[in-house]
């Protein structure tokens, strides 16, 4: 085995490189530091790693490391397409978009832990959740592992999710008020239908926007969710009566505007004036949702009678769905199959069991052989 530590000429960074030959295979790799002592330690650590691994005859790090994230993902997708589903490829592509925007044409071989930390901070500053950021970095981690470059990132740590749950479940009275108002205007039909799918099917907003008519079987009452926040969200939930009737109503409107073909989006893109493109998904129903929320929270005289509805988020409808199923005693696995959860801790996060249900649980746990304390005190006296 031969090795050499050197600095490449005409390089602004002045970082050290190693040149090692192990079992006839040559490895020339940057060490990412200008300190000779640290570079020596990193080189010997890398040599130990290379000795325990099979040599890479394709020199993958050299061919993959010169690519930026966008082109690396294209190559990686071609290599993996036969082993993963189309939905997984779509997930990789979606998660990589913010990475491409942030890092631009930075080559994989130039990535350092400092780059990842800076990206984490930038996403937090932009208001993104730790889980979202970790999912995005996971795509970069896959690319770096495939390029045999992840060994440099032993000090990388994913963001800890320290934010307390902010979601809540709506009471039946609040649900009745909200959906009664949402049905009162025809131009709120899309927002109303989305709300029904959120509260009574447990769907996320991103899942609702991505549904095509070919994904819905109104006769069987089944909906195929092919795009979600994570692959764990891909599922086939059952549609109850209110969901089927509401979607049927929306389909009738779609047929009138020639937007009911199988490949068309259920929630089509809408522009002004009254421009509709069913080949593109809706961007948002935020304005309609705010109007519905505001009207539902106030009386005809403008007095606030349901203050909680003023601040209710659309995602709280999904919290409501999980809470309703949990209160009715459905098994955790059934709930997770309907709404896409994969871990009990996530189910606990969404299940805002109301106090009334907890009181019933406490009463059910009351043992029959233990006398109440008041009766015991009477006997003592």
| 253-273 pLDDT per residue, tens | 999 999 999 999 999 998 877
Q: CATH number of the domain at 211, please.
A: 1.10.443.10
Residue 376 has pLDDT above 50, yes or no: no
The pair phi, psi for residue 364, each rounded to 5°, is -65, -25
Mean pLDDT confidence for 281-300: 94
Residues 100 and 51 in one domain: no
Residues 292 and 246 in one domain: yes
Q: Give the C-alpha separation, 123 to 195, whole Å.
A: 28
Q: Where are the alpha helices (DSSP H) in the chain?
A: 36-52, 60-65, 69-80, 86-103, 113-125, 130-146, 172-182, 189-201, 205-209, 241-256, 286-297, 307-310, 316-327, 332-339, 344-350, 355-364, 373-380
Residue 83 within any structural domain of the chain: yes
Residue 313 has pLDDT above 80, yes or no: yes
Residue 365 within any structural domain of the chain: no
Residue 369 within any structural domain of the chain: no
Q: Give the C-alpha separation, 375 to 379, whole Å.
A: 6
Mean pLDDT confidence for 323-342: 85
Residues 246 and 315 in one domain: yes
Pick the closest to residue 292 from 312, 275, 274, 317 (CA basis).
312
Residue 355 has pLDDT above 90, yes or no: no
Residue 354 has pLDDT above 80, yes or no: no
Q: CATH number of the domain at 78, please.
A: 1.10.150
Residues 37 and 69 in one domain: no
Q: Give the C-alpha separation, 73 to 202, whole Å.
A: 32
Residues 21 and 43 in one domain: yes
Pick the closest to residue 267 from 167, 164, 153, 191 (CA basis).
191
Helix (H, G, I), strand (E, B) or coil at 354: coil
Residue 143 within any structural domain of the chain: yes
Residues 264 and 343 in one domain: yes
User: What is the rounded (10 degree) CA torsion for 94, 98, 100, 106?
Assistant: -140
The pair phi, psi for residue 336, each rounded to 5°, is -70, -35
Structural domain of residue 300, as residue ranges? 172-360
The last residue of one of the domains, among 22, 37, 55, is 55
Q: Give the C-alpha separation, 195 to 315, whole Å.
A: 9
Residues 331 and 186 in one domain: yes
**This prediction's pTM:** 0.65
Helix (H, G, I), strand (E, B) or coil at 4: strand
Token pair 């929270």 is found at: 297
Least confident stretch, 179-183, 186-190, 229-233, 324-328: 229-233
Residue 376 within any structural domain of the chain: no
Residues 135 and 284 in one domain: no
The last residue of one of the domains, among 103, 122, 153, is 153
pLDDT score at 98: 95
Residues 86 and 46 in one domain: no
Residues 111 and 176 in one domain: no
- Give residue 36's Cα distance to chain centre: 42
Residue 372 within any structural domain of the chain: no
Residues 19 and 137 in one domain: no
- Give residue 74's Cα distance to chain centre: 22
Residue 161 within any structural domain of the chain: no
Residues 92 and 178 in one domain: no
Choose the most confident range, by mean pLDDT, from 152-156, 258-262, 342-346.
258-262
Going by pLDDT thresholds of 50, 70 and 90, the confidence category of residue 356 is: low
Residue 334 within any structural domain of the chain: yes
Q: What is the total count of domains within the chain? A: 3
């Amino acid at each position: 085995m031969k090795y050499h530590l050197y600095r490449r000429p005409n390089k602004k960074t002045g970082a050290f490189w190693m040149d090692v030959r192990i079992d006839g295979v040559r490895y020339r790799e940057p060490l990412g530091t200008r300190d000779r002592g640290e570079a020596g330690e990193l080189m010997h650590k890398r040599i130990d790693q290379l000795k325990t691994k099979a040599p890479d005859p394709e020199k993958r790090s050299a061919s993959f490391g010169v690519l930026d994230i966008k082109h690396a993902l294209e190559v990686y997708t071609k290599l993996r397409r036969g082993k993963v589903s189309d939905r997984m490829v779509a997930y990789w592509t979606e998660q990589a978009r913010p990475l491409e925007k942030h890092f631009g044409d930075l080559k994989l071989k130039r990535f350092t832990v400092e780059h990842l930390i800076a990206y984490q901070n930038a996403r937090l500053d932009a208001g993104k959740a730790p889980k979202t950021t970790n999912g995005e970095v996971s795509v970069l981690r896959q690319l770096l592992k495939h390029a045999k470059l992840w060994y440099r990132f032993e000090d990388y740590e994913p963001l800890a999710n320290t934010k307390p749950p902010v979601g809540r479940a709506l009471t039946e009275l609040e649900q009745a008020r909200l959906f009664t108002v949402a049905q009162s205007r025809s131009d709120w039909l899309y927002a109303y239908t989305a709300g029904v799918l959120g509260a009574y099917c447990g769907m996320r907003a991103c899942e609702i926007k991505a549904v095509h008519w070919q994904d819905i079987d109104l006769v069987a009452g089944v909906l195929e969710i092919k795009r979600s926040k994570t692959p764990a969200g891909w599922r086939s939930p059952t549609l109850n009566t209110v969901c089927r009737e509401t979607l049927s109503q929306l389909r009738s409107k779609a047929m009138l505007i020639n937007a009911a073909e199988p490949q068309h989006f259920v929630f089509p893109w809408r522009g002004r004036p009254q421009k509709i493109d069913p080949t593109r998904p809706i961007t948002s129903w935020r304005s309609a949702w705010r109007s519905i929320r505001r009207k539902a929270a106030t009386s005809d005289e403008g007095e606030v009678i349901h203050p909680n509805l003023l601040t209710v988020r659309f995602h709280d409808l999904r919290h409501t769905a999980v809470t309703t199923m949990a209160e009715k005693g459905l098994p955790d696995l059934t709930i997770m199959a309907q709404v896409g959860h994969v871990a009990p801790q996530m189910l606990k996060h969404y299940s805002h069991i109301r106090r009334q249900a907890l009181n019933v649980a406490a009463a059910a746990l009351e043992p029959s052989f233990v006398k109440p304390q008041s009766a015991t005190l009477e006997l003592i006296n």
